[in-house]
Amino acid sequence: MRFLLTSYDHTACDSINQDIGEGKFCVLPSYGSFIESDWKKTHHSWGCRYNQSLMIEAAKWIIDCGHEVAGESIAPKSRDENLVSIFESDEITTIGVYNDDVVSIRELDSNKFCIIDMQDYPSFGRKWSGSNNCIAVYMTMYEKGWVQKNTAAPEKYKPFLYFSMHPDDTEGFTQQYLPSLPVDTATDLRLFFAGTIGDTDNYLYSVEDKNGVRRPWREVALYLKKLAPDEVVIWGRGEKLSRDEWWKAAIKHRWNLFLAGGPWCNREHELWTLGCATLGIEYPHHPLMEPIIPNVHYAAVTVTDGTDHMGRPNNPETAAKQILQRYREVRDDHIFAKQLATNARERMTTVATPSHAVKRILDECWGIRRY
């Protein structure tokens, strides 16, 4: 079989020849080259992004199983003020938020393809899923109700995974700074959160409530800071750090808080990869290919007033109180923290990886596997 891998990048690059495996060559985008690549040094000194890692791992596995592969990187012709672009494929026009988070795999002889969609809404696959050539759409932000309402072929949609945004960088940091789990060396028992709250933004990180008032996306964090200033450390966009400096801060705390982003965010997945113990509100509406299990991978908070379709609590103030209650229950439980961190890191390094994901997809869609 012959495959074409496509990544939709706002910084698209030319294809190059890349040696993968003994005596075997394929064509990959230039981000498929390794650390010494001039393109990577220029644009991504921290290493491949997860969509790029998916392309590389897919190419390696396809060749390793005896098939041929080519790769391409496509940039949008235009984007509107919300970064939404228009694309055409299989005589179908679709729109999507253009943010490097979509990859497609197409088998050229049959012209059958699948889409891997890790972006926030709207989804590239909304109309493309209706193509007779589309086998499946793997969607990280999968929500059954949204898929049923908004897509041409909801039966083709399946939950996908989320990874550390830059897997190479996360692995390098772990090797350098984390000879053991962070919970074994953490000295700060305060609950730590660093991320975009939305308190200084009027649109991008805010949400309109039932009264038409725009509220911060992660308003619950502001209530936490107000309710328990001595028990939490809350950093907003104004305190934004580089990725590795944020990690250095996070590993000093026994407990790290994660809050809904879109709804999944790379933040919690990177914390799990590092082996941090985390606490967060349960996400009942957004399953993943390899499940995140409450109180197995993180200390779960069940909010009595529920969450919206993006995982945000319907009542941020009440949710903040319930987060604090749960945090106080587990704060001094080092054994529980270590158990959660161990489980989370094991998941992230074994089944929640680009390599595992592409092997499973190629098997499910085309029966490609090694025996």
Gap between the Cα atoms of 114 and 130, Å rounded: 12
Determine the average pLDDT of the residues in 129-153.
93
Position 371 scores a pLDDT of 65
What are the beta bridge partners of residue 71?
A: 5
Tell me: pLDDT of 206 over 80.
yes
Average pLDDT, the chain: 84
Would 199 be classed as within a structural domain?
Answer: yes
Are residues 234 and 338 located together in one domain of the fold?
yes
Are residues 142 and 291 located together in one domain of the fold?
no
Q: Regarding beta strands 299-301 and 191-194, do their DSSP bridges make them parallel or antiparallel, or are they unpaired?
A: unpaired
Q: C-alpha distances in angstroms, 311 versus 132, 192, 282, 296?
A: 33, 19, 8, 19
Tell me: pLDDT of 183 over 80.
yes
Q: In terms of Cα–Cα distance, which of 303, 292, 365 is closest to 140?
A: 292
Gap between the Cα atoms of 277 and 253, Å rounded: 9
Would 29 be classed as within a structural domain?
Answer: yes
Tell me: pLDDT of 78 over 80.
no
Gap between the Cα atoms of 32 and 266, Å rounded: 22
Q: In terms of Cα–Cα distance, which of 279, 287, 286, 276 is closest to 303?
A: 279
Alpha helices in 30-166 (DSSP H): 38-43, 50-64, 125-128, 144-150
Any idea what the Cα angle at residue 150 is, between residues 141 and 293, rounded to 5°?
25
Would 273 be classed as within a structural domain?
Answer: yes
Domain that holds residue 345: 167-350
Are residues 210 and 247 located together in one domain of the fold?
yes
Are residues 249 and 154 located together in one domain of the fold?
no
Tell me: pLDDT of 347 over 80.
yes
